[in-house]
């Protein structure tokens, strides 16, 4: 069990406010229980805004959020191989700002014993269903005992779709929904032989201002803050990006980090990626950096060149870039010429060489396994849906029978 260091002081302040004394020394057991501790668990593989939105909703239900992350072995047993290793997934979840503590190697089936072990009032999960390898609800026990709370699953987001995009790898995969090849990819990754599960499949995410507000920190830079600007594609947001942003955050005592996200067209035209990128659209990614502890603000559709207007508008003190190659702008100029001229440009080494292309290659190398994984998941879900329909039908028929 590992506490998130950024939240340790906040946790103590919460306990002090409940107990009325520093350190809670005079706090009765009854008062201590007022701090609502909640449990979430999952694979958190290829973390997207659906995962972070679940954690955001869960944290809003209580005071302290503990997140259990399953091992590679457990995921492989019940679902199929994960894309990211357990160590990568632990680090990713630990960096999410709504998470107070993580439990490495959490059991795949959530039990009362687990909730009691970590002193959690309830378990929180989305309104979809998670099944074991033999098709059983992983939350059956805590549901039966009244220790289960539900949040809304984020519509329009799917790990299945992300995996499918990587296997399709075309330049127009964001706007090619009518293409037979894309439809074939959705059949392989989100549709089983007996229908379509509402919990698995390809869907199109529509970003709204309310979603952005929910994820944003809402904090303006304060006097004494160092305003740091970074920009990039941040495609398939992964642990390499997290390590980079953490190092950027450490460049100042009081950092205010602004992340600039380039538009799809700019990335897709092959300026600094191969033309089949990005794999994630900007609506996908606009909600990703804000869920990190290290990010204060996001600029959607940031210009490729970091110019005078941008630096002056945001009152930028420092511009950072990683060790990756900097490609020239359309006019062959250096996109960082202005911050270099001002003496505010800095190269930051995250010591993590993971790239989006590395992730794509992981998927492609195990194509058949990932296809089988998603089809198996779909089949289990469809079996549960059919059983639920039959139960509802039997109940309705029973209610319609005349009383004797």
Per residue in 92-110, pLDDT (tens digit) is 999 999 999 999 999 999 9
Query: Which is more confident, 390 or 43?
Result: 43
CB of 305 within 8 A of CB of 329?
A: yes
Predicted local distance difference test score (pLDDT) of residue 396: 73
Please report which confidence band the pLDDT of residue 391 belongs to, taking 50, 70 and 90 as the band edges.
confident
Predicted local distance difference test score (pLDDT) of residue 367: 73
- pTM given for the model: 0.72
Predicted local distance difference test score (pLDDT) of residue 363: 80
- Nearest of 45, 98, 65 to residue 239 by alpha carbon: 45
Predicted local distance difference test score (pLDDT) of residue 298: 87
Per residue in 319-341, pLDDT (tens digit) is 999 998 888 988 999 999 999 99
Predicted local distance difference test score (pLDDT) of residue 378: 65
Per residue in 146-204, pLDDT (tens digit) is 999 999 877 655 555 555 555 565 434 444 444 444 344 444 444 444 455 554 444 44
User: How confident is the model over 118-136, as a mean pLDDT?
Assistant: 87
Predicted local distance difference test score (pLDDT) of residue 379: 66
Per residue in 241-276, pLDDT (tens digit) is 999 999 999 999 999 999 998 876 666 554 444 444
Distance in angstroms (rounded) separating the CA atoms of residues 189 and 182: 11
Distance in angstroms (rounded) separating the CA atoms of residues 12 and 15: 5
Residue at token pair 């506490």 = 3
Per residue in 288-299, pLDDT (tens digit) is 556 788 999 888
Residue at token pair 């979603």 = 211
> What is the DSSP annotation of 277-314?
--SS-HHHHHTSGGGBTT--EEEET--SS--HHHHHHT
Distance in angstroms (rounded) separating the CA atoms of residues 201 and 190: 4
Predicted local distance difference test score (pLDDT) of residue 225: 97
Predicted local distance difference test score (pLDDT) of residue 50: 81
Predicted local distance difference test score (pLDDT) of residue 142: 96
pLDDT at 11 over 60: no
User: Helices marked H in 98-207 — which ranges?
Assistant: 112-117, 140-144, 159-168, 180-190
User: Phi and psi dihedrals of 98, rounded to 5?
Assistant: -90, -5
> What is the DSSP annotation of 180-212?
HHHHHHHHHHH-BTTB--TTSS-------HHHH
In the chain, what percentage of residues exceed pLDDT 70?
63
**Directed axis angle between helix 356-365 and helix 159-168, to 10°?**
90
Predicted local distance difference test score (pLDDT) of residue 336: 97
- Nearest of 251, 365, 339, 290 to residue 49 by alpha carbon: 290
């Amino acid at each position: 069990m590992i506490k998130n260091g950024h939240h340790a002081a906040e946790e103590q302040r919460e306990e002090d406010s409940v107990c009325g004394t520093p350190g809670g020394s005079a706090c009765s057991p009854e008062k201590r229980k007022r701090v609502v501790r909640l449990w979430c668990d999952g694979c958190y593989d290829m973390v997207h805004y659906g995962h972070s939105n679940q954690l955001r909703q869960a944290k809003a239900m209580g005071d302290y959020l503990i997140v259990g992350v399953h091992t590679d072995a457990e995921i492989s047993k019940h679902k199929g191989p994960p894309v990211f290793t357990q160590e990568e997934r632990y680090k990713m979840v630990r960096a999410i700002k709504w998470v107070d503590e993580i439990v490495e190697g959490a059991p795949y089936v959530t039990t009362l014993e687990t909730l009691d072990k970590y002193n959690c009032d309830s378990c929180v999960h989305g309104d979809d269903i998670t099944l074991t390898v033999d098709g059983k609800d992983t939350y059956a026990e805590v549901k039966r005992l009244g220790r289960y709370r539900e949040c809304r699953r984020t519509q329009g987001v799917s790990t299945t779709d992300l995996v499918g995009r990587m296997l399709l790898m075309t330049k127009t995969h964001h706007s090619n929904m009518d293409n037979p090849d894309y439809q074939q990819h959705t059949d392989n990754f989100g549709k089983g032989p007996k229908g379509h599960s509402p919990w698995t499949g390809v869907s199109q995410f529509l970003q709204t201002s309310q979603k952005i507000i929910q994820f944003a920190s809402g904090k303006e830079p304060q006097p004494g803050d160092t305003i740091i600007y970074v920009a990039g594609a941040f495609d398939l947001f992964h642990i390499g990006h997290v390590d980079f942003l953490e190092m950027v955050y450490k460049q100042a005592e009081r950092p205010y980090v602004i992340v600039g996200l380039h538009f799809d067209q700019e990335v897709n035209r092959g300026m600094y990626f191969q033309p089949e990128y990005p794999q994630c659209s900007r609506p996908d990614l606009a909600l990703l950096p804000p869920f990190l502890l290290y990010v204060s603000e996001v600029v959607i559709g940031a210009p490729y060149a970091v110019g005078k207007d941008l630096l002056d508008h945001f009152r930028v003190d420092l511009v950072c870039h990683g060790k990756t190659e900097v490609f020239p702008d359309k006019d062959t100029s250096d996109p960082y010429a202005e911050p270099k001229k001002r003496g505010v440009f800095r190269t930051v080494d995250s010591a993590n060489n993971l790239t989006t292309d590395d992730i794509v290659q992981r998927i492609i190398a195990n194509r058949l396994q990932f296809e089988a994984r998603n089809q198996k998941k779909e089949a289990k879900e469809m079996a549960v849906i059919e059983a639920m329909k039959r139960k509802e039908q039997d109940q309705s028929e029973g209610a319609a029978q005349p009383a004797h």
